[in-house]
A = this chain, B = another copy of it.
Amino acid sequence: MTTKALSIKDIAKKANVSITTVSFILNGKAVEKNISTAVIERVEKIIKDDGFKPNQVARSLRTGSSKIIGLIVEDISNPFFSAIARLIEDKAYKKDYKIIYSSTENHPGKMKELINLFKSRQVDAYIISPALGTEQDIQGLLDEHKPVVLFDRFLPSLDVSYVGIDHVEASYKATEHFLKLKKKNIALVTIDLDVEQVVNRYDGYKQAILDYNGNQNEALVLKVPFGQEKEETIAQLKELFKEHTEIDAVLFATNYLAISGLTALKEMEKVVDADFSVIAYDDGDVFKLHTPQISALGQPLEEIAERIISLILMQLSSKDVLKTERVILSGELIVR
């Protein structure tokens, strides 16, 4: 039963033509290369009847390209990333590209390893949600003129294409919403990381309070250490809410912080209501089904995926290096 896979040679033999001819036909170069329609049809019939599929590995070796796009995210099991992955995969598939992915798991060395691994597999393009300190690794790809698109997180020191949302605007909108509801003591729960998209969320929050002459109080800004255990975060949050009973609104800067926050509140038996409002970054079933429903800053997942893929495909289909493009989309405040 173990039949060795057919090769182009078998097809050539069967059709009584050369390997070259079969290859031309396979690659749609038949007319251009003056292959007669009779031969084309004969060969195509055999290919179809025998179900011959060219060996992509050999093809990659020869052409240097693989029709594979590498996707590197921090954690594929984060709903935001898995949703994006699914959408990207779907769109890429339609253009005959496959996705090979990996999670970096906040492990600093892993990015370099992954990039090397992907390179040795002759991956054609890279879609990366970059961790801190991976600038050089990504610059390496750019130096080799590989198509690269960053998303979700941006590295300002790199001249590279990017798709993401305007985090200043998004957290401004959320904070503004609180202020219009006459909230006086708005807390921000964010992470302790000096990267653009985190800083931006903080900036939008601060700017809104400033513009509305709100109550500025650094004590209400909690910066959770990056990568900290969930239990620890919950404990910290409980303390915040206990110490600062004046808090009447909280903006959580990531979806998992919001989940930890809601867990903390639940454990404290503190309810979310008109006197204590919450907005979460990224939307999800958890927030929709929560009692009461939780307002959220939704990211336009479909559009993010669409833009990423079209940037990648443009670079892939162009002979020369295109100039980088930064796509900044708007988050949507979903008031519940």
- Name A residues whose Cβ lies closer than 8 Å to a Cβ of B: 1-3, 5, 53-58, 60-61, 66, 68, 75-77, 79, 82-83, 85-86, 89-90, 93, 98-103, 105, 116-117, 119-122, 143-145, 259, 262-263, 266, 285-286, 288-291
- Please tell me which one of the listed residues B53, B61, B98, B290 contacts residue A102 in the complex, with CB atoms under 8 A apart: B98
Instruction: List the B side residues contacting A83 at CB < 8 Å.
Output: 77
Assembled-state Cα–Cα distance A103/B5 (Å): 25
Contact (A144, B289) CB under 8 Å given A100-B100, A122-B57:
no
Contact (A89, B61) CB under 8 Å given A285-B259, A286-B289:
no
Contact across chains for A99 and B98 when beta carbons are under 8 A apart: no
Contact across chains for B61 and A57 when beta carbons are under 8 A apart: yes
Give min CB distance, A280 to chain B, whole Å.
Answer: 11
Q: Which 3 A-B pairs have the closest CB atoms?
A: A82-B82, A77-B86, A291-B291
- A53, A98, A99, A121 interface centre (most CB from chain B within 10 Å): A121
What number of copies of this chain does the assembly contain?
2
Closest residue of chain B to A144 (Cβ to Cβ) is B2
Contact across chains for A145 and B66 when beta carbons are under 8 A apart: no
Instruction: List the B side residues contacting A66 at CB < 8 Å.
Output: 57
Contact across chains for A85 and B76 when beta carbons are under 8 A apart: yes
Contact (A103, B89) CB under 8 Å given A145-B2, A285-B259, A291-B290:
yes
- A5, A66, A76 interface centre (most CB from chain B within 10 Å): A76
Closest residue of chain B to A255 (Cβ to Cβ) is B285
Given contacts A98-B100, A101-B101, 10 further A-B contacts (CB under 8 A): A1-B144, A2-B145, A53-B116, A53-B120, A55-B122, A68-B100, A89-B103, A90-B105, A263-B288, A286-B286
Contact (A85, B77) CB under 8 Å given A120-B55, A286-B286:
yes
Instruction: List the B side residues contacting A58 at CB < 8 Å.
Output: 61
Complex A-B: 5 CB contacts under 8 Å: A2-B144, A57-B61, A76-B76, A99-B100, A101-B101
Instruction: List the B side residues contacting A89 at CB < 8 Å.
Output: 76, 101-103
Instruction: List the B side residues contacting A259 at CB < 8 Å.
Output: 285, 289
Instruction: List the B side residues contacting A76 at CB < 8 Å.
Output: 76, 82, 85-86, 89
Assembled-state Cα–Cα distance A190/B76 (Å): 28
Closest residue of chain B to A140 (Cβ to Cβ) is B1
